[in-house]
Amino acid sequence: MSDFLAGLGVLVAASASAASILLPPGRARSGAMLLALVLFPVLILGDQWHTHQIVDLRHDTGRIVFLVALALAIVAALAYVFSRWPVLLPLGIVAMLPFRVPLHAGGDSANLLVPLYLVIGGGVLASLLRDRGFAPLTGPASQSVPWLPRILAAVVVLYALQSLYSDDFSKALQNVCFFLVPFTVAYGLLTEVRWSRGLLTVVLCVVAVEAVAFVFIGSIEYLSRSLFWNDAVIRSNEFHTYFRVNSIFWDPNVYGRYLALVLVVVTTAMLWARDRRDFWLLVGAILVLWIGLVETFSQSSYIALAAGLAVLAAIRWSWRWTLAAVLAGLIGAVLVVGLVGGKGVNFNRINIDTSGRANLVQGGAELFGERPLQGYGSGSFQVAYAEHRAKKNVPVTVSHTEPVTVAAEQGLVGLFAYLALIVVALWTMCAGIGRAAPVGRIAVLATFVALLVHTMAYAGFFEDPITWVLLALGASLAALPAAGGPAPATSSTA
C-alpha cells in the first residue's frame, strides 16, 4: 500500500469511526461503523504486507480462508443473537474486555483483542440490518451530553491527522486500527443501550465472576511458581525475591489494573448495598480480589485502587476529611521517599525504584521541549526516544506516563485535546453526584478516576478498551435524568 493510500485510509477510518458516535441512530450511523471496521483489517494488511508474519500467512492460503470464514460466521451468529436479544451486546463487550488471543505467524506472535473485535463486529452488523440502533431510551447519549462525544471524535481524528507526519507512521496506523477505530465504534454501540439498574447489576456480576476466576488462575501460578506465558516476566521472577503473576493477562501491571478497577466497582456496590446478604457476598469478593491484586506486586495498581477508594470515601462520607487524608498520605510518601536511608531525594534511586520510568518521563519531557507545538507525530515515542537518547533497540513504546507520551507525540495540540477530554468526561460524570446519586454513576466516576491515576504510572489510556466503556457509560448514565426526568427519591435505577 502506498504512503498516500495508507494515510488516506487512516483518515477515512478515523473519520468514519468519529461519525459513528456523532450521527443519530440509523442507517448512516451504522454504515459509518461498518466502513470503519472494514478499513481496519485492510489497512493493517496493507501496512504489514511485506513483513514476515503476513508473508507467512500469505503462503498458507488454506489457513487464511479458514480464519476469515470462521470470523465471518461468528460475526453473523453474534449479529443474529444481538438482534434477538439486544441486552447481550453490552454484556458481550464487557465480558470480552480482558481477553486477548495470541496469533502466531512467521515465528512471532501478537496478542490481539480478537474476541472483543468479533463482538463489536456482530453489534455493527446487527445494527446495520435494522433501521435503528439498539433501542435507546430517548435517543443516543450524544443528544443529551453533546460535548463528550464531540471531543472524543476530535481526539480520534486529530490522532489520525498527526500520524501523517509521524516518525513511526506504521505504529500510528496500528494504534488507529487496533484501538481507536474499534473502541470508538464500541462507544457508539454502548451509548445506544437502554441502561437500567438490572442491566448494571448483571454487568457487575459478569466482571466480578470473571475477576474471581482470574484470581484463581493467578493463585495457581503463584503457588506453583510457574507462569503460563510472557518469557520476560518469567525471567524477571528468577532474579527477584518476590514472584509476580499475570493470570490470563500478558503483563502483571495490566492484570493489576483490571483487578483494581473491578475492586472499585465491587466496593461501590458494597458501600451502597441495602441487603445484608449482598453486603457479605460483596465483602467476600473484595477479599478474594485483594489477594489477587497483592500477587501482582503492581505498585501502580495499588495507587490506582487507593484513588478510586478515595473518591468513594469522599462521596459516601466527607470530601473534606478524604482530602485531608489524601494530602497527609502524599506528604508522608514524599517524606519516606526523600528521607529513607538518610540520602535525600536522588534521581537515580527514583529511576531504579520506578523501573526506569523516571528516565522515560525525563526523555519524554525533553522531546516535548524540542517540538512543543506539534510533537513528533502519533505513535512515534519509541523511535523519537531512541534517536533523542542516542540508544538503539530501546525496549519501550511509551513513556509509561500518558500525558508525557501525548505531549511528546502530539505536542500542545494533542495535549490540549487530551486534557479537554478528561475535563469534559469528569464534568459529565460528576454532574449531580452525591451520596444519594445512582450507584451506577458513582461506580463509573470512581473507576474512571482509578484508571486515570493508573495511566499516570503505566500509560495505556486510549489503548485500553475499559476507558471507552467507562466514557460510554458515563455519558449514557448522565443523560438518563434529562431523558426520563428526575428519578423518584426512593429509586436507585442505573
DSSP string, 174-202: HHIIIIIHHHHHHHHHHTTS---HHHHHH
| 9's grid cell | 485510509
Q: How far apart are CA 120 and CA 95, in angstroms?
A: 12
Which residues are CB-neighbours of 68 under 8 A, at least 6 positions away?
none
Q: How far apart are CA 330 and CA 307, in angstroms?
A: 12
Q: What are the residues facing 369 on neighbouring strands?
A: none
| Burial 11-22, CB ≥16 within 10 A → b, else e | bebbbbbbbbbb
Return the pLDDT at 143: 54
Per-residue pLDDT of the chain (494 residues; tens, 9 = 90+): 677 888 899 999 999 999 999 988 888 888 899 999 999 888 988 887 777 667 776 777 777 888 889 999 999 999 999 998 999 999 999 999 999 887 654 444 568 899 999 999 999 999 888 744 444 434 445 456 788 999 999 999 999 999 999 988 989 999 999 999 999 999 999 998 888 899 999 999 999 999 999 999 999 998 988 888 877 788 888 777 788 888 999 889 999 999 999 999 999 999 999 889 999 999 999 999 999 999 998 888 999 999 999 999 999 988 888 888 888 887 877 676 666 555 555 555 554 455 556 677 777 888 888 899 998 999 888 888 888 765 545 555 566 788 999 999 999 999 999 999 999 999 999 988 887 788 999 999 999 999 999 998 887 899 999 999 999 999 999 887 544 333 333 333 33
Which single residue is written with the C-alpha cell 443501550?
A: 193
- Is the CB of residue 116 less than 8 Å from the CB of residue 185? no
352: number of Cβ within 10 Å: 12
Residue 486 has φ and ψ, to the nearest 5°, of -60, 135
276: number of Cβ within 10 Å: 8
Q: How far apart are CA 54 and CA 38, in angstroms?
A: 18
| 193's grid cell | 443501550
* pTM for this model (two decimals): 0.88
In total, the chain counts a number of residues equal to: 494
Return the pLDDT at 106: 43
In sequence order, what DSSP letters do the residues of 118-131 get, joined into one string? HHHHHHHHHHHTSS
SS3 state at 103: strand
Q: How far apart are CA 337 and CA 321, in angstroms?
A: 24
| 472's grid cell | 460510554
Closest to 155 (Cα-Cα) out of 402, 369, 360: 402
Which letter does DSSP use for residue 341 in this model?
G
| Burial 170-180, CB ≥16 within 10 A → b, else e | bbbbbbbbbbb
Which residues are CB-neighbours of 385 under 8 A, at least 6 positions away?
360, 363, 364, 367, 394, 396, 399, 408
Return the pLDDT at 236: 82
| 230's grid cell | 510472557
Which single residue is written with the C-alpha cell 442491566?
A: 199
310: number of Cβ within 10 Å: 20
Query: Half-sphere exposure (CA, 13 Å, Cβ side) for 124?
Result: 32
Which residues are CB-neighbours of 387 under 8 A, at least 6 positions away?
167
| 178's grid cell | 487496533
Return the pLDDT at 474: 93
| 459's grid cell | 500509560
Return the pLDDT at 109: 56
- Is the CB of residue 301 less than 8 Å from the CB of residue 259? yes
Which single residue is written with the C-alpha cell 461519525?
A: 19
Q: How far apart are CA 157 and CA 176, in angstroms?
A: 10
User: Exposed, middle or buried, 328 (CB in 10 Å: 0-12/13-18/19+)?
Assistant: exposed
Residue 414 has φ and ψ, to the nearest 5°, of -70, -35
Return the pLDDT at 468: 96
